[in-house]
Amino acid sequence: MGSSMSRKDRKKGLLRLFILRTLSKEAKSGYDILREIGEKTQGEWSPSKGTIYPILSELEEKKLIEGVEEGARARKAFKATKAGNAHLKETIRRHEDEQKKRMAGRRLLFLETFFDERERKLVTLSQDFVDKARETRQKKKAIM
């Protein structure tokens, strides 16, 4: 049944990638990352400092992120390195199709369980729209 990776390991893997992704956009402190996760999950999930900071240390040891001093109080923030950005891009490319299939299967089961036929059709149409937009974006990237 599925992979042998535990749910906790998968969450940490997702968290590592999210941290790397958010740090590829701009430098942030551990506190900023915790706050962002809370906002993005609408308060449904908030990992502890005891989870975030060891991941930041691990990513820094692997040279995927680097510490930078920021602000008047010189708090430590982190940003992705070139190696970190390359690692992120490659990891996303490698797992993208697998994750899309997994999510599509779960989405169908969720829709079947909680929505009536009309609502399922609306959600499916909106997902089709999102998929087409992604395809168009990827085609444009390939041209550039």
Domain ranges within the chain, ordered by starting residue? 7-80, 86-143
Average pLDDT over residues 42-68: 94
In CATH, what class is 7-80?
mainly alpha
CA dihedral (101, 103, 106, 112) in degrees, to 10, reads -90
**Which pTM value belongs to this model?**
0.68
List the one residue out of 33, 40, 45, 62 whose CA is nearest residue 8. 45
Q: Looking at the predicted structure, is the pLDDT value of residue 92 above 50?
A: yes
pLDDT per residue as tens digits for the range 4-39: 456 556 667 889 999 999 999 999 999 999 999 999
Q: What percent of the chain has pLDDT over 70?
A: 88
Task: Determine the pLDDT at residue 11.
Answer: 62
DSSP the chain: ---SS-HHHHHHHHHHHHHHHHHHHS-B-HHHHHHHHHHHTTTS----HHHHHHHHHHHHHTTSEEEEEETTTTEEEEEE-HHHHHHHHHHHHHHHHHHHHHHHHHHHHHHHHH--HHHHHHHHHHHHHHHHHHHHHHHHHHH-
Assigned token pair, 39: 């906002």
Residue pair 46/34 in contact by the 8 Å Cβ criterion: yes
Reference 15, options 42, 43, 48; nearest CA is 48
